[in-house]
Amino acid sequence: MPSPLRNGDLRSPAAVLRQIPFQSTVSEQKLRRLNILILILRFAAFCFSLAAAVFMASNSSRSHDSHSWLHFPTFRYVLAANSIVAFYSLFEICAAVWEILKSETLLPESVQLWFDFSHDQVFAYMLLSAEAVGTGEARRLRGGGACDASGGFCVQAYISVALGFSGFAFLALSGLLSGFRVACFVITGSRFHL
């Protein structure tokens, strides 16, 4: 039977197996940079989605016969999608700040990674579809001559849709990074590959 004191190691074999795996400071710095990049992308998605929701919510006139976003189901969908994404992005900003400060995820690591990835995908597609139908409705209004009487309504609708598309772009980029983190977790068991 081999001696447990091989090569001068005074620890028992069970203690060697319970040893925490080595993680260099370089990989910790890379993980921190990735988390900060995700935080920046989520903050940008929050700002653009919130701005799009505010622009659409304030897009109505005081007179009774003028256009309002309430009269168009597609614009209500644009407002709802941007509001949902703004709220989700705010939650993810808080989770990213927690992860940067505490060096651990808010939820258990595997749950947090799959939660981020799946919700990024669902909300990005929802936002893209909302902005696409919002663009179609705004173009239909312009083509029908409805924008001649209330030009401000159409301009504000276009601005809201453009801000929503920008929010989608940032949410899609953060979705790519959360997909990278899920892939690293599936391959190596950690949310970062080094």
Residue 131 inside a domain? The answer is: yes
What's the pLDDT tens digit per position in 168-191? 999 999 999 999 989 988 888 777
pLDDT digits (tens, 9 = 90+) for 128-157: 999 999 888 888 877 766 666 656 777 888
Q: Model confidence over 1-28: pLDDT tens digits?
A: 555 544 444 555 555 555 555 555 667 7
Q: For the chain, give me the number of helices (H) and strands (E)?
A: 6, 0
Distance CA 132, CA 25 (A): 44
Residue 34 lies in a domain: yes
Does 170 map to a domain? yes
Q: Hey, what are 180's tokens?
A: 């990278």
pTM of this prediction?
A: 0.79
pLDDT number for residue 59 = 75
Split into its structural domains, the chain has a count of: 1
What long-range pairs does 67-72 form, CB within 8 A, spacing at least 24? 67/141, 67/146, 67/150, 67/153, 68/153, 69/157, 72/137
Establish if 108 belongs to a structural domain: yes
Asked whether residue 62 is domain-assigned, the answer is no
Residue 178 lies in a domain: yes
H/E stretch holding 6 reads none
Contact 22, 148 (CB under 8 A): no
Question: Which residue is associated with the tokens 């899609």?
Answer: 172
- Would residue 7 count as lying in a domain? no
Residues 6 or more apart in contact with residue 181 via CB below 8 angstroms: 34, 113, 116, 117, 191, 192
Distance between CA 74 and CA 129 in Å, rounded?
Answer: 10
CA distance 120 to 108: 18
Q: Which domain holds residue 159?
A: 29-57+73-188
Residue 19 lies in a domain: no
Q: What's phi and psi for 24, nearest 5 deg? A: -75, 160
User: Which of 48, 45, 72, 40 is CA-nearest to residue 161?
Assistant: 48
